Amino acid sequence: MLTEVTATRYLAPLRSGGSVPGIVEADDLGTYVVKFTGSAQGRKALVAEVIVGELARALGLRFPELVLVHFDPAIAAHEPYQEVRELHGASAGVNLGMDYLPGARDFTPEVARTFRVDPLEAGRIVWLDALTANVDRTVHSSNLMVWPTLGVAPPRLWLIDHGAALVFHHRWDLTAPGKAYDFRHHALGRYAPDVRAADAELAPRVTEALLREVVAQVPDGWLRDEPGFHTPEEVRETYVRHLHARVRASASWLPTDFPGHDELAAEEARRAARAQRGRPDWLKRVPDLHGKSAAEQDWSVHLGRED
């Protein structure tokens, strides 16, 4: 089961995320990015984080350690923004923490232009995203970090943020385990992902036994009161059956048609031109504050800072 810790000090919100996670220190002396149960995304986002993150780790992909964080809103009483305090107030109890990666940078399009990713590694990540229907690892929102693992050079890719995965569990659409997914704009599409080799390597490893170990990490409280189910174990078994059926149907959903560099560049230019045409004249003279330098992507810059 996931390790349980207690938050002892609240440092700052991470304003780069729509769910406004927070940075906390815990009684195990660790520092964690905490995603709160009271966020607008709801508890299913945390369920997806656990299932996809732990599956990624089991398959050898780099993903920060997850912990369950007992959070008392009183430790964040100094937070100046009312909406963030309200989020904390709605999240008393057990929340989800991800090991904080100090000095990590967002895998932005600018970073991607100079960062080398092995086609097989890219294929493994794309394969996992296709299996779990992760809609949120695109060229515009990669949910990847570049971090220099201790003793390893150069820096490596780390996966984060899988709350938008497992889209089937929002309506429990289990009828089409072989449903294809549109991954033309995947963040790693430019690296010629070798998804066929990844499928041959990873699919045999995603057994029912492994999936049961993974879903067992989800707390019962996040699976209770699910319409159509009587117990958390019924919900867990449904995740196992669907994901295992999807693995067996990988030939139907395996994404292989990724755009080339020229096609991506042309589409980006068209998108930028459309966005520029839609801006009023006065706004066209305002600099693009989202075009941050690589240094500004460091997580430490995000702490307590509003852009």
DSSP string, 34-103: EEPTTSTT-HHHHHHHHHHHHHHHHTT---PPEEEEEE-GGGGTT---HHHHHHHHTT-EEEEEEE--TT
| Residue 46 is assigned to a structural domain of this protein | yes
State the residue for tokens 């097989």. 120
pLDDT of residue 264: 65
Confirm whether 147 is domain-assigned: yes
Classify residue 63: in a domain, yes or no: yes
Strands (DSSP E) contained in the chain are: 3-13, 22-26, 31-35, 66-71, 93-99, 105-106, 144-147, 156-159
Most distant CA pair in the chain, distance: 59
Tell me the residue ranges of DSSP E strands in 120-161.
144-147, 156-159
Predicted pLDDT of residue 274: 77
Q: What is the pLDDT, as a whole number, of residue 32?
A: 98
Is 143:16 a contact under the CB 8 Å cutoff? no
Handedness of CA 168, 170, 174, 179 (dihedral sign): negative
Instruction: Among 103, 124, 146, give the residue marking a domain's end.
Output: 103
As a residue count, the chain comes to: 307
Write out pLDDT tens, residues 252-293: 999 887 766 677 667 777 877 777 776 565 444 544 434 443
Question: Is residue 283 included in any domain, yes or no?
Answer: no
Pair 182, 78 in one domain: no
State whether 31 and 141 are in the same domain.
no
Is residue 293 included in any domain, yes or no? no
The Cα 47–Cα 173 span in angstroms is 16
* Helix (H) or strand (E) run with residue 5 in it: strand 3-13
Asked if 196 and 247 sit in the same domain, the reply is yes
In this structure, what token pair is assigned to residue 189? 């599409």
Q: Are residues 114 and 99 in the same domain?
A: no
User: Is 189 in the same domain as 133?
Assistant: yes
* Tokens representing residue 3 in the block: 């390790």
Amino acid 296: pLDDT: 37
In a domain, residue 212? The reply is: yes
**Range of the structural domain that residue 145 is part of:** 105-253
pLDDT at 281: 59
Q: Answer whether residue 301 is part of any domain.
A: no
Element spanning 10, H or E: strand 3-13
The pTM assigned to this predicted structure is 0.84
Number of structural domains found in the chain: 2
Q: Which two tokens stand for residue 147?
A: 């971090």
Q: Which residues of the chain have pLDDT under 70?
A: 16-18, 149-153, 259-261, 264-265, 278-307
pLDDT at residue 19 in the model: 82
- The per-residue pLDDT for 15 is 74
92 and 185 inside one domain? no
Give the end of a domain, one of 74, 103, 132. 103
* Same-domain pairing of 57 and 140: no
> Are 65 and 160 within one domain?
no
pLDDT for the residue 64? 97
